[in-house]
Structure 1
């Protein structure tokens, strides 16, 4: 289904990627003081990713996993796989305040999805190295955007504290 939508609207994945790159740091900035909310949203994003990637497709999948790699991340479907994990990486970076850990957790999630697709034929999904690479890149990008937003929020908080201390002079 996703392939059909992306074929009909090839501009969709690049537009979504541009939107998350622009909006992502602001979302992270807004959530920086709300780590519990960021954690809850990260869990919700992981559930949504799980549903999108593991919901049975109704078609027969390839047995095993396709391990060849064709790095064409600018095609609509690989780009959509990048976009898919950006929110997870971003929200985990805000929740944990550790962007490297967030990126790694997103990459591990993507590996778990691909492994599940490989060993559970009932989902009718194909496991590919390309999907994992694209998902991992999305997780890293999201974690970086989250780190930028958190750094901006921390900087703004320090500036306000500094202004407050010097306002009484």
Structure 2
């Protein structure tokens, strides 16, 4: 339903990604000091990654298939930009929980490569490997790591200004 809507209104895809990013940042700010909740959010937001990439489809592929291409997404490229949005939340929440955005960025990119490899090597799941998917997932991971780093910076700055204000008023 959401996919059909976005296909019909492809100009809204960047808005959808911005909303995903905003929700991640707000939840990151709200739960910055609750790492268990952030890990839970990372886990829950990973479920669509696995559901949309590894759950078998009704189609079967008879051979190993991997499309090797690298395209720059346009604002109307729904599938490419959906791959960006897919990896943004889990990387963002894991980076906030671990306070290691670069490590989580790398983990997100490696996870995407593993998924694409499985899609290529296990034709029974009916999914085809595509290097564009890995690239767009990695761009989503980069955005997630950047949002996490920015959110962590805001949290740290807020904590510093709160502690220095408290020291002055005492």
TM-score by length of structure 1 reads: 0.89
Corresponding position of 2:14: 14
Aligned counterpart, 1:30: 30
Once residues 112 and 83 of structure 1 are traced to their aligned partners in structure 2, the CA distance between those partners, rounded to angstroms, is 18
Q: What is the root-mean-square deviation in Å for CA atoms of aligned residues?
A: 2.0
Superposed displacement of residue 89, structure 1: 1.4
Q: Please give the alpha-carbon distance, in whole angstroms, between the structure 2 residues aligned to 1:20 and 1:59.
A: 30
Q: CA deviation at 1:125?
A: 1.0
- Which residue of 2 is the match for residue 83 of structure 1? 85
Match of 1:126 among 128, 132, 150: 128
Structure 1: segments with no counterpart, 5+ residues: none
2-side partners of 1:131 and 1:2: how far apart? 19
TM-score relative to the length of structure 2: 0.89
Could you report, residue by residue, the CA deviation over 1:41-86 in whole angstroms, capped at 9, with x for unpaired residues? Answer: 1122223311121122211346331112222353111011101100
Partner of 2:148: 146
3-state DSSP class of the match of 1:157?
helix
How many residues are aligned here?
Answer: 168
Q: Spell out structure 1 runs of 4+ moving beyond 6 A.
A: none
The gaps in structure 2 that reach 5 residues or longer are: none
